[in-house]
Structure 1
């Protein structure tokens, strides 16, 4: 009889703990797992190309749509085929997608 009583108490304890954990998670509804993507367009000078890493370093002007000042930074090219035909020292227009600290170049256009 005692074994049954202990089993019932244990089950009730686990049920209460589960309900408390669910209540603790209820305030996280507004939080998302990944930051929302921002999209912008910029113009800049290619400073480096790394085909092996699939990256492009661009010295660019301000990009207001993603709240960036002018700076030099390295982007991941998505797709990596965007790097073909580009040259260090070339001025380009480009599209970028930004998620948190990750920035991708998603399109490249010659710029005069």
Structure 2
């Protein structure tokens, strides 16, 4: 019985020291870099081609490459625009760089510039 208690105590001591070592070992990690990468992905521009401009509905149809910040592959899809003024900046066939985000359940173009 005494040996069992000593074994349990030693096991706990090893587990606690290993946890403390691992926590101390992570002290040199830059935790902010993960947050920075998330911000970079959110603000990174995607590339696409305008296929349709629907000013009445405030929407753009864009054939685009991967949308990394949304985890989407390349495809053609319809997006709302955050600012209706964006629609007057482009026409069908224009190559664009843009940022799309999910806002209130809708995919929305929040930044747009012609290439």
TM-score tier after normalising by the smaller chain length: 0.5 to 0.7
Between structures 1 and 2, the one with greater strand share: 1
Between structures 1 and 2, the one with greater helix share: 2
What are the ranges of 5 or more consecutive residues in structure 1 without an aligned counterpart? 1-37
Q: In the alignment, is residue 39 of structure 1 matched against residue 50 of structure 2?
A: no
Equivalence for 1:24: none
Equivalence for 1:91: 95
Q: Alignment RMSD, CA only?
A: 1.8
Cα drift, residue 101 of structure 1: 4.7
Taking structure 2 as the reference length, the TM-score comes to: 0.59
Q: In the alignment, is residue 105 of structure 1 matched against residue 109 of structure 2?
A: yes
Taking structure 1 as the reference length, the TM-score comes to: 0.60
What is the aligned residue count? 74
What are the ranges of 5 or more consecutive residues in structure 2 without an aligned counterpart? 1-40
Ranked by relative contact order (alpha carbons within 8 Å, sequence separation 6 or more), the top structure is 1
